[in-house]
Amino acid sequence: MWPSRRRHRRQPNMGLMLLLLQLCQAGFDTIPPVTLGTIALNVGMYLGIIHEFFRKRVPRTMDICVGVVQVWQRQDYWRVIEATFTHADDWHLYYNMVSFLWKGRSLESKIGSRQFLYMLAVFSVLVNVVMLYLNYAAAMFFSDASYMNQCAVGFSGVVFAVKVVTTQMMPQGTSLIMGFIPVNSRLSCWFELVLIQVLVPNASFTGHLAGILVGLAYVKGPLKAVMNWPFNDFGRSFSARSGPSYTYHSASSGHHNRQSPVQDERRYDSYTGGLNEQQQMEHAMAQSTQNQPNNGQNRLYPDLSEETSPSAPTQDEVQPPAYGWNIPGHTHNTQNETPTNGQPPYPPASNQDELRRRRLDHYNHRASNRR
């Protein structure tokens, strides 16, 4: 975020040309849709294309920037949203969009476009709200009214929040600040916060700090659970209370029981272990590199045949349990003698399986005599 200042007529210049070059080098076909659309929205806001589409005058930066006086005292709440997509000049736009390009492409491919769009929508508002509270707290703590009059614009606060989420989801490693300073990847946002303030003193320190705090609240705090609650817990509990749905067909009697989408989602989650496509691929590659077989244990995907196809019934399941060999009115010899009813001689009964076989032969022989 940059403090607002008056701008001349916005025209394509060096910053936009370099941004277009970066997009071409990355490849438009390799940029996910939400990331590419967000960059297009920021460029359109800077060039005034969005304002012309809605037939509105391109406002000055002072009429859009977000600050305590402008938002709370003047009650101009629309600035909280519009200031996020407004930039002071083309270089401000270039640095923010290039940084967002690589972070957004990585994060969107991991969590999906719909979840990423939802995250950007929440972050775009929440970062500015947190910045207002930080400015107000700084003004009260330092007894300095200048924090109340600070007014900033830009997408960099959201970029910092996205960077925190991205580094926390990736394996811990080392990042190079300015290309030669090795820093822990999960701590790099704090080094960038200080470095940007040293190199660009006019940058909004509280705006960047607000982005880091929002990102930490998402990965370490309750923000992620709060954001996902309307789509997970409430939706599942509502579907569970509503019970199964039935569809009646006029062409045939009876009904057809359809499973709810929540039941299908639970079955899918249990099948994949709650992992997304990228995590499933990494898990499968890790399993394939193991040399020792695990005999099918701890597998990510169970065999469908084991779930849907019943195993072959054993002899104990096919044959009835042994209730004994005491049949009234019938005597037999267990020492290879011919029974009195003419049945073939039996071998000695040595185990339960032999007793079951004898009993079946006995009933089969009686059934054949009745015919």
Told to judge if 208 belongs to the known catalytic residues of this protein, a careful annotator would answer yes
Told to judge if 143 belongs to the known catalytic residues of this protein, a careful annotator would answer no
Rg (CA), the chain: 36
Residue 200: partners with Cβ closer than 8 Å, 6 or more residues away: 2
DSSP, collapsed to helix, strand or coil, labels residue 66 as: strand
Q: Which of 70, 200, 63 is nearest to 132 (CA)?
A: 70
Give the Cα separation of 277 and 247 in Å (integer).
33
Options 4, 124, 156, 204, the catalytic residue: 156
Lookup: tokens for 165: 């989420």
For the chain, give percent helix, strand, coil, nearest 5. 60, 5, 35
By the 10 Å C-beta count (0-12 exposed, 13-18 middle, 19+ buried), 97 is classed as buried
Residue 7: partners with Cβ closer than 8 Å, 6 or more residues away: 60, 61, 88, 89
Options 4, 124, 185, 208, the catalytic residue: 208
Give the Cα separation of 132 and 174 in Å (integer).
33
Provide DSSP, 161-173. Answer: HHHHHHHHHSPP-
Q: Answer whether 164's CB lies under 8 Å from 78's CB.
A: no
The residue length of the chain stands at 371
Paired residues of 183 in beta bridges: 175
Q: What dihedral angle (degrees, nearest 10) is formed by the CA atoms of 85, 86, 88, 91?
A: 40
- Catalytically annotated residues: 156, 208
